[in-house]
Amino acid sequence: MTSLLREDPRGVLKPFSEVIDVSSADPHQAGVKPISFVRQVLAVCLHPVLLPDDGLPLDVRLRAQRLLEACDGESVGSYTASCGLLQVQHTIAKFITRRDAGVPSFFQNIFISSGSQRALTVVVKLLVGEKDRTQTGVLVPQPGPHTLQTLLDEAGARPVLYRLKEDRGWAVDPEELRLALKAARQCCRPRAIYISNPGNPTGHLQDRHSIEEVIKFAAAERLFLLVDEIYQDSVYGQGIEFVSYKKVLLEMGQSYSDTVEMASFNSLSNSVTGECGLRAGYMELVNMDPDVMLFAETLLCMDISAPVLGQLALELMVDPPKRCDASYNTYAQEILSNQITLAQNAERAWMLLNVFPGMSCQRAMGGVYVYPRLDLPSKMVKKAQTLGLEADVLYCQKLLEEEGLWIGAGCENGSTNGSFHLRVCVMVPPTTLEEVLARLRAFHLRVLDTFSHREIDTSLPGSSVSSRYNRCN
């Protein structure tokens, strides 16, 4: 939560003492506690005089010693290679090999950066190359990550929107990909397709068949695959599991596994670890020409190196304590607690948001957001138009002003077929989520009251604002 004075600059009293920000994924800002093992190891790395301290678990001190030995001068204050510490690259490659049940990963293909967004920017800039009269296009999902538009603009690429199917839980539809590609060729040169799996902010998780369809489409159209898998450890749908694009690709046969170019991304910020401030992520490049990979390293050199503490935390994320280690039980309990909280919060939010009148929500299978749809009164939509705003942007502005609740508007990355949505992060403590839902409910019902009851269907029993409100409790 963010503290806020009860009076605004005009001296008007507000009905809240704190702003709750659930517009983006920042678990620690929201009150989620850091993982003890990560912080203990980093503390020793920052202050090596703690190495002989018996008050810390032995595996913490041994891990810190090993990480310090991997740093030049045995200090986290030294530079690393632009693509990251060699030891961390090796550890990430071993993690990917374990994750994909033996499908090999090689450290030479791992590039560590100051967050997954930085790595994605580097690859897009490589695809754009020298500027010419035909702009490079990247197919991107609608809805998609709210930061993606800015990233593509910075890299000089043109976003080409393909619609996800809301009525199918925000599934990727090959026909929508083909329609988007056909339209794109009228205005740019499509060279890549961006996928987030689990979906950001939709929470959709692709199964193997869906992944295969996307890979076949990319192969047929000679498109580079940009696969954002930052929520791979945040999958909670019943009876489902995360399968990586790389694993599927390498099991599809040589006609695909040897030809389809791909970059996959992961992040320290968006994992259950949630260490946003340490700024570290990585990408794995698949089937990219070695000469082009040299250019990737050159672009990463512009940052000199990713923050060393972030790199070390990345290694701790992908190589946590073993069962025989002193820290294992505490680590396992903390990670499991975060995963259970996320799953229960997503289910709780989905259930209640589908009860609110004028709101509906698809069930999330992974990730840290729910993405409810708003059916707003036409008078509010018209008012927003007169202000030059999308209706969900106006809704969120008023929500922040009146309730101190900061929620993302769905149209930040482009309106979804004329509909309106909210982006709500549920990776927060359960008590915070309850406060979020209470404030949102109060505001939403007030909006419906303000813009006329007559726009609410009262033809069915229990469809009035008051009766449907009671069903929320």
Mean pLDDT of 146-153: 92
Can you give the residue ranges of every domain in the chain? 2-31+336-471, 67-318
pLDDT band for position 465 (cuts 50, 70, 90): very low
Is 454 a residue whose pLDDT tops 50?
A: no
Cα(62)–Cα(52) distance, rounded to whole angstroms?
A: 10
Q: How far, CA to CA in Å, does 177 sit from each of 147, 198, 229, 246, 343? A: 21, 18, 19, 20, 30
pLDDT at 301: 61
Q: Which residue type does 286 have? A: V
CB neighbours of residue 91 within 10 Å: 20
Choice between 328 and 239, residue whose per-residue pLDDT is larger: 328
Beta bridge partners of 422: 409
Mean pLDDT of 107-127: 91
Per-residue pLDDT of 254-266, as tens digits, reads 999 999 999 999 9
Mean pLDDT of 276-291: 91
Choice between 191 and 292, residue whose per-residue pLDDT is larger: 191
Is 335 a residue whose pLDDT tops 80?
A: yes
Are 436 and 21 within 8 A, CB to CB? no
pLDDT at 300: 65
Q: Which residues contact 37 (CB under 8 A, 6 or more apart)?
A: 60, 316, 320, 321, 327, 330, 331, 334
Cα(141)–Cα(148) distance, rounded to whole angstroms?
A: 10
Is 352 a residue whose pLDDT tops 50?
A: yes
CB neighbours of residue 388 within 10 Å: 8
Beta bridge partners of 228: 196, 265
Residues 127, 255, 179, CA angle at the centre, nearest 5°? 55
Are 131 and 156 within 8 A, CB to CB? yes
Cα(32)–Cα(414) distance, rounded to whole angstroms?
A: 30
pLDDT band for position 294 (cuts 50, 70, 90): confident
In this structure, what token pair is assigned to residue 88?
Answer: 């961390």
Residue with tokens 């389809």: 260
Per-residue pLDDT of 37-93, as tens digits, reads 999 999 999 999 999 999 999 999 999 999 999 999 999 999 998 889 999 999 999
> Are 2-31+336-471 and 67-318 in the same CATH fold?
no
84 φψ region: left (φ > 0), alpha (ψ -120 to 50), beta (else): left
pLDDT at 54: 93
Per-residue pLDDT of 173-228, as tens digits, reads 999 999 999 998 988 999 999 999 999 999 999 999 999 999 999 999 999 999 99
What pTM value is reported for the model? Answer: 0.89
Q: What is the SS3 assignment for 466?
A: helix
Cα(378)–Cα(195) distance, rounded to whole angstroms?
A: 33
In this structure, what token pair is assigned to residue 209?
Answer: 């068949």
Average per-residue pLDDT in the chain? 89
Choice between 236 and 294, residue whose per-residue pLDDT is larger: 236
Q: How far, CA to CA in Å, does 136 sit from each of 148, 178, 195, 224? A: 15, 17, 17, 12
* CATH 2.60.40.10 fits domain 67-318: no
Cα(450)–Cα(377) distance, rounded to whole angstroms?
A: 10
Residues 147, 148, 152, CA angle at the centre, nearest 5°? 125
Residue with tokens 């396992």: 332
Cα(41)–Cα(38) distance, rounded to whole angstroms?
A: 5
189 φψ region: left (φ > 0), alpha (ψ -120 to 50), beta (else): beta
**CATH superfamily of domain region 2-31+336-471:** Aspartate Aminotransferase, domain 1 (3.90.1150.10)
